[in-house]
Amino acid sequence: MDSKNVAVIGSGSWGIALAWRLHKNGFNVTLWARREETASKLRSEREDKDKLPGVILDKDIKITSNMEEALKDAGMIVVTVPSVAIREVCVKMRPYLAEGEEKRIIVNCSKGIEKDTLMVMSDVILDELPGSEVAVLSGPSHAEEVGKGLPTTIVVGAFSKESAREVQNVFMAEEFRVYISPDMLGIEIGAALKNVIALAAGIADGLGYGDNAKAALITRGIAEMSRLGAAMGGDYETFSGLSGMGDLVVTCASMHSRNRRAGILIGQGKTAAEATAEVKMVVEGINSAEAALALAKKYEVEMPIVEQINEVLFNGKEPREAVKELMLREKKAENELQEW
């Protein structure tokens, strides 16, 4: 293994953007694609004209569909596949991560909660690759902007400060500022739930509601995320940071956000399946919505926005009715902890 070699597992827009970033940082990058057809096209065109036009992969970046080739000699492994594919990809990685070898940090960049197990992605990785040194990378970071070298700030969580520092050193650049945090769970809960709230913000846009409604969804959304994260053992402060409020704002406000775009289409009358097909990318908020609701019930946390999103996505509820129900809920104080 060589610390200058980095494997990026996943050739979607985020994988391409991070491969570009890491190569700019001076690392030897190998990008793994699930299908040889995808790998071959990227090798010849050095660009994904559909998902990430204008981001050109240098000829020195290796592109392969062979997992063994991708992981060979890699000192760090960066996983960017959709959350629904994490477990399958870890199984593919397992034969090439020898027991007893020096541990390689696996950096999870996927955002979601596994529906059947209610595990965050780092736990899924550890379930399939026990004993691994896992870190998480998250924050307000659209691939479209990272791949163009626009200023971006993210946070890295890890079990040890040393591992967090190592990942920080690999990714840090003039246009890519990296903070570190010990709260891996909080970071991952924020990363997954903000996609669900962004669907709600998109639906409000699709219905023609204004900035007031979006500001309310963002503000009350962060309250729901914080309540659940704290109940699960995350740090409340994490949700006012980059992987909480930061990522939520950018995902709710930007047209780069596939979750917001899908929400707009749903607000305009399309089904979740139709919206996903039109966006042409994985919409993580749809995948995480049911798991978020299950976690809310498990930890007895009130999450009305998440409840209504599930009603719209899976039970055929009209979006306008869902908004009406949110607005007409029982009268409450904004913060129950504050005393008169």
Residues whose CB falls within 8 Å of the CB of residue 171, separated by 6 or more in sequence, listed in order? 21, 22, 25, 137, 154, 156, 178
Nearest to 226, CA basis, from 218, 216, 238: 238
Q: CA 12 to CA 16: how far, in whole Å? A: 6
Active centre residues (catalytic): 194
H helices of 242-318, in order, are: 247-253, 258-267, 272-279, 284-298, 304-315
CB of 8 closer than 8 Å to CB of 19? yes
Residues whose CB falls within 8 Å of the CB of residue 154, separated by 6 or more in sequence, listed in order? 137, 138, 139, 140, 141, 171, 176, 177, 178, 179, 242
Helix (H) or strand (E) holding 133, with range, is: strand 133-138
Helix (H, G, I), strand (E, B) or coil at 37: helix
- Paired strand residues for 64: 32
Q: CA 51 to CA 268: how far, in whole Å? A: 23
